[in-house]
Structure 1
Amino acid sequence: MESKIFQVDSKKDDIDVSENAKDTGSSDGGATEIYIDPVLEQKVMRKFDIFVIPQMVLLVILAYLDRSNIGNARVFGFEEGIGLQGTEFNNLTSLFFVTYVVFEIPWVMSIKKLGANRVLATAIVCWSVVTIGFGFVKNYHQALALRLLLGLFEAGLIPCLTFLISMIYTRQSQAKRVAALYAGSAISGAFGGLIAYGIQTMGDRHGLSAWRWLFIVEGIISLVIGGIAWLTMPKNAVNAWFLNEEEKGLMRARHQRDAIYKGVEEFSWSYVKMAFVDPFIYVASLGLFCSSVPLFGFGLFLPTIIKGLGYDSLQANYLTIPVYVLGTLSLYLCSWVSDKLNRRAIIGGTISLLVVIGYAISVGTANGGAGFFAMFLCAAGIYPYNAILLTWVSNNIKPDHKRSVSVPLFTSLANISGLISSQIYPSSDGPRYITGNSVSLAMEFVAVLCVWGIYFLLRRRNIIKEAMIAKGATDNGKQGDRALDFKYTL
């Protein structure tokens, strides 16, 4: 076996790799092929799976708990407790997305500058304090101010984590890891229902209503874990604290080998322009926008929808648990198959049909059992679609700096859907909420069409590149993923 020597400068984060590599004999004069021991590489990837992915999932669980607990609090007195009227509750859920959308790109760009540990820990500590503050609000305007702050501090979480995953794992193995993030959102729904059920049965304590304790308890949990994350989350992929010097060298060499990024690491505004003018980002954003209407509506209003099926408020909270469990299982299975086959379109475009069927059932019948079954179908399709689409976009963006803008741009445009999803389930539309379920059905159908729009766009780009290569072309005058040497994952 040929020897490998990794020269690692632990004081800086850019790539600096030197190794005894074999000469490829190419005409460029001395090109070398980087060889990495696959056994050692697998060992390093297992370390990331053990030390990083569980932390990511935990952060997502906490974020979604602190974001959607307002839906659980609603069914046992939040609106009456602070005197909300008309559509004020819906305003609280929708205006969260104003700051959430605006601040996504700055959060992700800060990862490259400051490191994942500092950025993510700061975000979670700040939103935890805001969540605790919800336990003491007195009126609508105080609650609105806190929801805007919550959106600001939670804005970058999913795109930041997705970007970090894209820096660690190969394109063929990212879907399972991104799926873990969405599994966190589904698991948070189950935990949210369980915690809400426990706190609701606890009742009032020390002069505070049960719904106030819901915010306080979950906020304190997030605050403690956020402080720990500063110490346990790695700064970046190549200088993770749990890697030894040999393993850090491997990650630097692997960065080059996988061709995720080639060239200098300095930021240029040309990368921002590349992200903003790529039609692929906007077609994908439309798909995620449409699918996020049922995603956000499902996460915020599932207890409300179940209560509208004829169950009481206590049942509405704990009956969300099995629904989210099925959503988590479906998410894992679909993502595993997507990575195994290295196919995104066929999986995402098929599984989302379950959402269309589920909402069609809920709109078409008043039967409580059928409506509850429909929620299982919706959960089985909502989470896999969004996870696969996010992975698909991350797979097909190059270089790193373009990806650091493209991913949050893609998600921020999609997250504008939160302004819609928060308004389609007003109390006046109960108990069946036909309008909200109908809108979710229509949006998911458009999301299915977008999958195939993305597929044909990327397939056409691959065909054009293959035709140029067949004619002997070595350069098409474009950069990044639009360059001739990059093949899009379909």
Structure 2
Amino acid sequence: MASSGITALADDDQSAHPGVMEKTKPPTEQPVAPALTEEQRVLDRKILRKIDLLILPICAMNHFFSSMDRSDIGNARLAGFKKDNHLSAIQFSTVVSMFHVGSIVCQPVGGLLIRFVEAYILLGFANITWGICTIMLLFSTSVVLPSILRVLIGAAEGLTQINTVFITMWYTKEEIATRTGLWISFGALAGAFNGLIAWGVQHNIHSTTFKSWQVLFLLEGTFPIFFGPVILYFYPSSPTRVKKYFSEEDKEMCIARTQRAGNTIDRASSIREAMTIFRNPETYGMLIAHFCVLWAASGFANFLPTIIDGLGFSAVESQLLTIPVCIVTFLSVNFFCYYSDRLQLRGPLIMGLAVVSAIGFTMLAALSSKGPRIFALYVISFSVYSLIPLTLTFLCVNTVGLSRRALVIPIQNAFGQFGGLAVSYTYIHKPRYLEGTLTTIGFLCVLITTIGALDLYFIAQNRAKAADVGSEQWEKNRTKSFDELGTDHPEFTYTV
């Protein structure tokens, strides 16, 4: 099992307040997790199944509800929201983009808070908050109220992006893409569910009290309000603080697992260590890459119902036709993330999928017939959404230490939201939306170039480290922790 020192640290940690993570004294350095015995491997597989059953369903449903309330604005538009609120095309794009303003501000805040406040507290109350704000959209009559509420919805949902940081405490780099892809893929299912709800509301509910778009917001705001208490009760604490569902033996294996993920146990949060991310060139490459990804994915997701409507279908038919497109997205995300872990490849997959996405958007811009344009939507759905978990994973596996991840992952997410914010203003002139489509193609080309450059840099760094093996400095540094040295640790290798 894990060392007795680990057990002592875990026992000391249990005495802390259950809701707040307090800084602890620096631990005894344990730079590399000890190898597991065969007995421990069997137990570790059992623990992995338990972690999957506890964390992944809640992460998935949290992302499902957040994606519903993020993208339901596109379905609401077809249900009469834009017309009833007297919004111009620019004003509607403003309402869409205001979500990203709140998200940009609160994602880094959530990343820093996770070192001090339990994840289940942040997630539970965030769900309740954005659910209430979604229901308040019923009272919208102009551009003002929905713009304010979308900022608040984005702020609450921005906090939930700590899930990306949280799972790096539990999963190794060989496992993380599959898990990230699984819960993020539920965002695609949310798009399908949005289309189904919107179709059902417009097709079957004819109320004199509420308009169709109001019923849509009422239903979709209720779900996260009821889900918040579920998170507060069931979501586990960090590996060193787990109590419910895990025995002391299980807890030791969880601690050993988080060590293998490159985290130092109970190390106090270090702003100095976290700020070293800004000295790494890969940080800036990852920011650019995620900006390009969310530009492409957000524009496609938010305007998919409107794009289909522009092909000549009725509003009700357009709501229904979004469903199979979203199902294709769900399946492809899980497929590519699974094989990313199996092959331990990130960059080449991202570049390949970006090429496929660019082909789809090119078809959408160049073709005018209904059939080929629908086919182009499926090409895009097959490829573009998978880029989100893969770029997140690319950053996670190439960043070492929880202090660094807790800062750089939310910054990457927030920087990407600038792409989601700006793209809304390029989807203005229907039905072709050429400005948005052509600009997206350009950013996909930037993405391919950036990821290619990062992979070449990572290969060069790995070769330099291999050449230094056995030197005096190499021997000295390998006794230090991953948190202290970050990617400079001699036993860390970049994943391409």
1:120 Cα deviation (Å)? Answer: 0.6
1:181 Cα deviation (Å)? Answer: 2.5
1:4 Cα deviation (Å)? Answer: 7.8
Which residue is 1:487 aligned to? Answer: 493
Which residue is 1:96 aligned to? Answer: 99
In 2, are the aligned partners of 1:202 and 1:210 still within 8 Å (CA)? Answer: no
Which residue is 1:276 aligned to? Answer: 278
Matching residue's letter, 1:249: E
CA offset digits 1:43-84 (Å, max 9, x no partner) = 011011112101101100100100110100001200111121
Distance 1:206 1:271, change over 3 A: farther
Instruction: Report the Cα distance in structure 2 between the residues aligned to 1:202 and 1:446, rounded to whole angstroms.
Output: 45
Matching residue's letter, 1:104: Q
In 2, are the aligned partners of 1:156 and 1:408 still within 8 Å (CA)? Answer: no
Instruction: Report the Cα distance in structure 2 between the residues aligned to 1:487 and 1:181, rounded to whole angstroms.
Output: 27
Distance 1:83 1:469, change over 3 A: same
Matching residue's letter, 1:301: F
Instruction: Report the Cα distance in structure 2 between the residues aligned to 1:157 and 1:32, rounded to whole angstroms.
Output: 29
In 1, are the aligned partners of 2:24 and 2:268 still within 8 Å (CA)? Answer: no
Which residue is 1:464 aligned to? Answer: 464
Count of paired positions: 473
Instruction: Report the Cα distance in structure 2 between the residues aligned to 1:361 and 1:321, rounded to whole angstroms.
Output: 21
Matching residue's letter, 1:111: I
Which TM-score applies when normalising by structure 1? 0.92
Instruction: Report the Cα distance in structure 2 between the residues aligned to 1:74 and 1:446, rounded to whole angstroms.
Output: 31
> Which segment drifts farther, 272-281 or 113-122?
272-281
CA offset digits 1:466-487 (Å, max 9, x no partner) = 2222555415798212222211
Matching residue's letter, 2:486: G
The 5-angstrom pairing of residues 158-237 of structure 1 reads 158=161, 160-205=162-207, 207-237=209-239
Q: Does residue 251 of structure 1 match 2:250?
A: no
In 2, are the aligned partners of 1:34 and 1:253 still within 8 Å (CA)? Answer: no
1:324 Cα deviation (Å)? Answer: 0.9
Which residue is 2:143 aligned to? Answer: 140
Which residue is 1:21 aligned to? Answer: none
> Which residue of the other structure, out of 311, 314, 333, is the alignment partner of 1:312?
314
Instruction: Report the Cα distance in structure 2 between the residues aligned to 1:323 and 1:3, rounded to whole angstroms.
Output: 47
In 2, are the aligned partners of 1:4 and 1:35 still within 8 Å (CA)? Answer: no
1:290 Cα deviation (Å)? Answer: 0.9
1:182 Cα deviation (Å)? Answer: 2.1
Which residue is 1:441 aligned to? Answer: 441
Q: SS at the partner of 1:356?
A: helix
Q: SS at the partner of 1:265?
A: coil
Which residue is 2:51 aligned to? Answer: 48
Q: Does residue 451 of structure 1 match 2:457?
A: no
Which residue is 1:377 aligned to? Answer: 379
Which residue is 1:121 aligned to? Answer: 124
The 5-angstrom pairing of residues 404-415 of structure 1 reads 404-415=406-417
Instruction: Report the Cα distance in structure 2 between the residues aligned to 1:402 and 1:205, rounded to whole angstroms.
Output: 52
In 2, are the aligned partners of 1:399 and 1:481 still within 8 Å (CA)? Answer: no
Q: Cα RMSD (Å) of the superposition?
A: 2.3
Distance 1:326 1:54, change over 3 A: same
CA offset digits 1:350-391 (Å, max 9, x no partner) = 122111110111111101111011011101111222211101
Q: Does residue 84 of structure 1 match 2:87?
A: yes
The 5-angstrom pairing of residues 5-84 of structure 1 reads 6-7=7-8, 8-9=10-11, 10-12=14-16, 33=34, 35=36, 37-84=40-87
Which residue is 1:347 aligned to? Answer: 349
Matching residue's letter, 2:279: V
Instruction: Report the Cα distance in structure 1 between the residues aligned to 2:442 and 2:47, rounded to whole angstroms.
Output: 44
Gaps in structure 1 of 5+ consecutive residues: 19-27
Instruction: Report the Cα distance in structure 1 between the residues aligned to 2:360 and 2:133, rounded to whole angstroms.
Output: 35
1:156 Cα deviation (Å)? Answer: 2.6
Which residue is 2:296 aligned to? Answer: 294
Gaps in structure 2 of 5+ consecutive residues: none
In 2, are the aligned partners of 1:118 and 1:235 still within 8 Å (CA)? Answer: no
1:138 Cα deviation (Å)? Answer: 2.0
Distance 1:90 1:445, change over 3 A: same
Instruction: Report the Cα distance in structure 2 between the residues aligned to 1:15 and 1:141, rounded to whole angstroms.
Output: 46
Distance 1:32 1:89, change over 3 A: closer
Matching residue's letter, 2:389: A
Matching residue's letter, 1:254: R
Instruction: Report the Cα distance in structure 2 between the residues aligned to 1:264 and 1:121, rounded to whole angstroms.
Output: 24
Instruction: Report the Cα distance in structure 2 between the residues aligned to 1:407 and 1:255, rounded to whole angstroms.
Output: 17
Instruction: Report the Cα distance in structure 2 between the residues aligned to 1:32 and 1:134, rounded to whole angstroms.
Output: 50
In 2, are the aligned partners of 1:134 and 1:143 still within 8 Å (CA)? Answer: yes
Q: Does residue 432 of structure 1 match 2:432?
A: yes
Percent identity between the aligned chains?
26
Distance 1:86 1:371, change over 3 A: closer
> Which segment drifts farther, 415-424 or 125-134?
415-424
Instruction: Report the Cα distance in structure 1 between the residues aligned to 2:183 and 2:287, rounded to whole angstroms.
Output: 19
1:346 Cα deviation (Å)? Answer: 1.6
Which TM-score applies when normalising by structure 2? 0.90
Q: SS at the partner of 2:491?
A: coil
In 1, are the aligned partners of 2:291 and 2:415 still within 8 Å (CA)? Answer: yes
Instruction: Report the Cα distance in structure 2 between the residues aligned to 1:264 and 1:79, rounded to whole angstroms.
Output: 51
Which residue is 1:106 aligned to? Answer: 109
Distance 1:86 1:375, change over 3 A: closer
Instruction: Report the Cα distance in structure 2 between the residues aligned to 1:335 and 1:236, rounded to whole angstroms.
Output: 24
Matching residue's letter, 2:144: H
Instruction: Report the Cα distance in structure 1 between the residues aligned to 2:215 and 2:2, rounded to whole angstroms.
Output: 60
Matching residue's letter, 1:45: L
In 2, are the aligned partners of 1:121 and 1:230 still within 8 Å (CA)? Answer: yes
Distance 1:243 1:264, change over 3 A: closer
Q: Does residue 285 of structure 1 match 2:291?
A: no
Instruction: Report the Cα distance in structure 2 between the residues aligned to 1:381 and 1:34, rounded to whole angstroms.
Output: 38
Matching residue's letter, 2:222: I
